[in-house]
Structure 1
Amino acid sequence: MAKQPMLKFVTVERDMPEKRAAEQRREDFNEIYAEFAQSKAKEQSGRCSQCGVPYCQTHCPLHNNIPDWLRLTAEGRLKEAYEISQATNTFPEICGRICPQDRLCEGNCVIEQSGHGTVTIGAVEKYITDTAWEEGWVLPIKPAQERAESVGIIGAGPGGLAAADVLRRAGVQVTVYDRYDRAGGLMTYGIPGFKLEKDVVMRRNDQLAQGGVTFELNCNVGEDISFADLRTKHDAIIIATGVYKSRDLTVPNSTSKGVVRAIDFLTASNRKSFGDAVPEFDSGALNAQGKRIVVIGGGDTAMDCVRTSIRQGATSVKCLYRRDRVNMPGSQREVQNAEEEGVVFEWLSAPKGFTEDGGKVSGVMVQKMRLGAADATGRQSPEIIEGADYVEDADIVIMALGFEPEALPTLWDQPELEVTRWGTVMAEFTSGKTAMNGVYAVGDIVRGASLVVWAIRDGRDCANAILNELATPKQVAAE
């Protein structure tokens, strides 16, 4: 009788892939975790309890069939595990690296709730798909039949690319328009290489291109081509621009030289890793080397900034957040990694302005806070502690306060494109359909700044809604 490969959580402890020493990983932008070996992936997958109501699957935005691919991995059936993983997730190797599993699948694992330590779902997902690439199981898209209809997608981030993948598999002609010179959106230019290696994103871009997706890069809609022209050119349009407008602080000296936006800082660093010419980096304006860095914010973007600053050779890196550690929105795993690498967190601290010397920032005027009464959502609101102000010295201050949508109706001269009071595009839940005929919207431009996995979910749902709306497939006329 074959040995039972599952339910080993009582006898086998949770074990993550080995993490490189902090002193070593401070020196480069490489992935901080090693890969699982096959035996270790089998062992850790075998800890799954195969519960009747899999909360890991329920709390995954994509509802990935996690118990099934864990079982297949435990049985050594990796190709089948990959096929099940890929069936619901366009980019499993990316989600395995950057999803906040501690808040989603792993955080809701049944054996975690019972005190045995969660299954390392993200690490196994990454292992399965990396193995699939190495073994040649990931193939270019080959539709069974081409269709005449075309869809234009504005934005080459995770939402737009996920929609492109689903539509191409159905034979639809897809063109993706993006303002940058490489596809991937924030996966390419916003997330540092130590969390998401750039070759991982580029190979997915290449796979889509090989499968027939057309990329129009360095194309700024509203300038290089009008939105009205795109609607004429395509049967449907998907708006997947994301949100790139940085939130600012209206405090004294906020425009001082050296007060920079997180997106600018991260983009400069990522461009440098591609070998691009980056004058702002070379001049030191967006380079932390030898400088005292203060990052303001408590989300994952702030974590990316502090950990990038460490790797660039900053003399000190501090993160100011107005609430405490328990109430910060960023991943606790990322905070731990940052602390190991030398970042100092100043909790319950908020900026009230900046000091400057000759027009250049020299410090942050900090107000100490305490958590007061809970608001309507149950979250405690920070209150100022009078007389506890101080100045935190800084050579560069990085503002990581989140992102807001650009004013698309104005930028694209489309006043009929309905937006919410927050500036996000109004679209139907699940389908992404807007009030404009044939126009859809997905991802952060609908939700506000959110997770990559939610953008993938939106892109897939929208593509399937479009396929339901489109006419019966027609054979493309011969060239």
Structure 2
Amino acid sequence: MAQTRMLKFVTVPRSMPEKRTADERTEDFGEIYQAYAAEKAAEQAGRCSQCGVPYCQTHCPLHNNIPDWLRLTAEGRLQEAYELSQATNTFPEICGRICPQDRLCEGNCVIEQSGHGTVTIGSVEKYLTDTAWTEGWVRPIAPLAERGESVGIIGAGPGGLAAAEQLRKRGVQVTVYDRYDRGGGLMTYGIPGFKLEKDIVLRRIAQLEAAGVTFVMNCTVGEDISFARIRETHDAVLIATGVYKSRDLGGPGAGLGGIVRAIDYLTASNRVGFGDEVPEYDSGELNAAGKRVVVIGGGDTAMDCVRTAIRQGATSVKCLYRRDRANMPGSQRETQNAEEEGVEFVWLAAPRGFTGQGSVSGVRVAKMRLGSPDASGRRSPEEIPGADYTEDAELVVKALGFEPEDLPKLWGTAGLETTRWGTIKADFRTHQTSLEGVFAVGDIVRGASLVVWAIRDGREAAESILTHFTAAAARVAAQ
């Protein structure tokens, strides 16, 4: 076996993959980070301290065995490293690109806490899986035996796809229903290509199709097919719709033209990237070219919007956030990337209304200060009296987060219980809802969250569905 080459964090500095220059990368929607070379990946993996209590693994929602696949990478045993990484993660190449590692594994790395700079876990994970695809190590899904049970999955996002993969591996017949024309959910239409190039998502969907998963696209449950019909067709149902209802923003002038939702803006941009005809983009309604753009919000969706506007050729791009930089929910890494690309952040600024005649011409902004902490632990913003001013804008993008749609009402489904926030009520261990044989995962249960949490939920729900089938078979046998 190759000699172990670890514990180099004292002598080897942290090094991320090189980024394309800001001038170069803002000319297209390609990913901004270059790939590691094999030697660089091994070097950076070798910085891992192999600590006795791996906080990186503990703080990963999937509890990936990070120290061991870092060690294998450092030793050049890349296929083994990949196989270990994918054993707990359905889409490691996607998580390596879009997980907020600075808040999860890397942010809790022991050597980061000691001041040596975190191990670049996400970049090594991306390198491993990209290498695996290139080398042919990503094997087709091939169940050992087919089963007669059928599962209907509503939603082709990360939670639904993760469950589909796990169920198909066990031979279950799987049909995925989705409202869009392509699978992937927000990974396809919500996240820009500079963070996640779309062929990365589509090849996983192609792998599932090749394995026998049936995709029913352009299918809106409650319109094109009833929820009751899906329940009648399948032995179990998994709800993995995500949350798509945008939080709104009122105030004077809120109905002016040129004030758009983040999901509409990002979807239009991604569709253009696919080569689709997008009239709203061509007309300028969802196109930032030549405009002064203001994005309202401080999360990762807001970062996606401001960086998209830069690439579309906006005259200026400003991001308004009501708290300061230290209290923003978005990734600090993404904020830094946005600043490098020319985005201006206006901290402690909240919109009070909009100006314009027919179309927006400005955002009326109230200056804020931070008061006492709220329930989340962050200091609450308070308005400074008499400090209002106007930010000029021809396009305003509302990136204020997402809320769940009223699924019981939309689907005409009595008995599907929801929480006071409108999310589906499901057991946190089994993901079973109030309806027999109906499970739910991801954002429709958690509220707007991370792709990695949806993957975890989908994998867990698949196991619960298999247990449900076993119990049902036992009841039939006992009769």
Do both share a fold (TM > 0.5)? yes
Is contact 2:4-2:75 (8 Å) kept?
no
Cα separation, 1, equivalents of 2:295 and 2:418: 31
Cα separation, 1, equivalents of 2:146 and 2:53: 40
Cα separation, 2, equivalents of 1:194 and 1:470: 42
Cα separation, 2, equivalents of 1:453 and 1:379: 24
Cα separation, 2, equivalents of 1:449 and 1:455: 10
Q: Which amino acid aligns with 2:392?
A: D
Cα separation, 2, equivalents of 1:150 and 1:170: 12
Aligned to 1:186: 186
Aligned to 1:337: 337
Q: Which amino acid aligns with 1:469?
A: H
5 Å-filtered alignment, 1:24-173, equals: 24-173=24-173
5 Å-filtered alignment, 1:203-282, equals: 203-282=203-282
Q: Which amino acid aligns with 2:248?
A: D
Paired residue secondary structure (1:220): coil
CA shift digits 1:404-424 (9 cap, x unpaired): 000100100013110011100
Cα separation, 2, equivalents of 1:66 and 1:107: 14
Is contact 2:292-2:314 (8 Å) kept?
yes
**Residues 374 and 212 of structure 1: CA distance in aligned 2, closer, same or farther (over 3 Å):** same
Cα separation, 1, equivalents of 2:378 and 2:329: 12
TM-score by length of 2: 0.98
Paired residue secondary structure (1:470): helix
Cα separation, 1, equivalents of 2:313 and 2:292: 10
Paired residue secondary structure (2:294): strand
Q: Which amino acid aligns with 1:29?
A: F
Paired positions, count? 473
Cα separation, 1, equivalents of 2:118 and 2:376: 28
Is contact 1:14-1:119 (8 Å) kept?
yes
Aligned to 2:477: none
Q: How far apart are 1:468 and its partner, in Å?
A: 1.2
Cα separation, 1, equivalents of 2:375 and 2:264: 34
Paired residue secondary structure (1:100): coil
Identity score, percent: 75
CA shift digits 1:306-347 (9 cap, x unpaired): 000000000000000000000000000000000000000000
**Residues 2 and 439 of structure 1: CA distance in aligned 2, closer, same or farther (over 3 Å):** closer
Unaligned runs of 5+ in 2: 474-479
Is contact 1:139-1:207 (8 Å) kept?
no
Is contact 1:261-1:398 (8 Å) kept?
yes
TM-score by length of 1: 0.98
Alignment RMSD? 1.1
CA shift digits 1:159-184 (9 cap, x unpaired): 00000000000000000000000000
Q: How far apart are 1:250 and its partner, in Å?
A: 1.8
Is contact 2:6-2:47 (8 Å) kept?
yes
Aligned to 2:476: none
Q: Which amino acid aligns with 1:345?
A: F
Aligned to 2:351: 351
Q: How far apart are 1:4 and its partner, in Å?
A: 3.7
CA shift digits 1:238-266 (9 cap, x unpaired): 00000000000121111111000000000
Aligned to 1:401: 400
Matched, 1:6 2:6: yes
Aligned to 1:459: 458
Is contact 1:155-1:177 (8 Å) kept?
yes
Q: Which amino acid aligns with 1:374?
A: P
Q: Which amino acid aligns with 1:454?
A: W
5 Å-filtered alignment, 1:420-459, equals: 420-459=419-458
Q: Which amino acid aligns with 1:386?
A: P
Aligned to 1:362: 361
Q: How far apart are 1:441 and its partner, in Å?
A: 0.3
CA shift digits 1:126-165 (9 cap, x unpaired): 0000000001111221000000000000000000000000
Cα separation, 1, equivalents of 2:330 and 2:116: 24
Aligned to 1:17: 17
Q: Which amino acid aligns with 2:164?
A: A
5 Å-filtered alignment, 1:254-333, equals: 254-333=254-333
Unaligned runs of 5+ in 1: 475-479
Cα separation, 1, equivalents of 2:304 and 2:181: 22
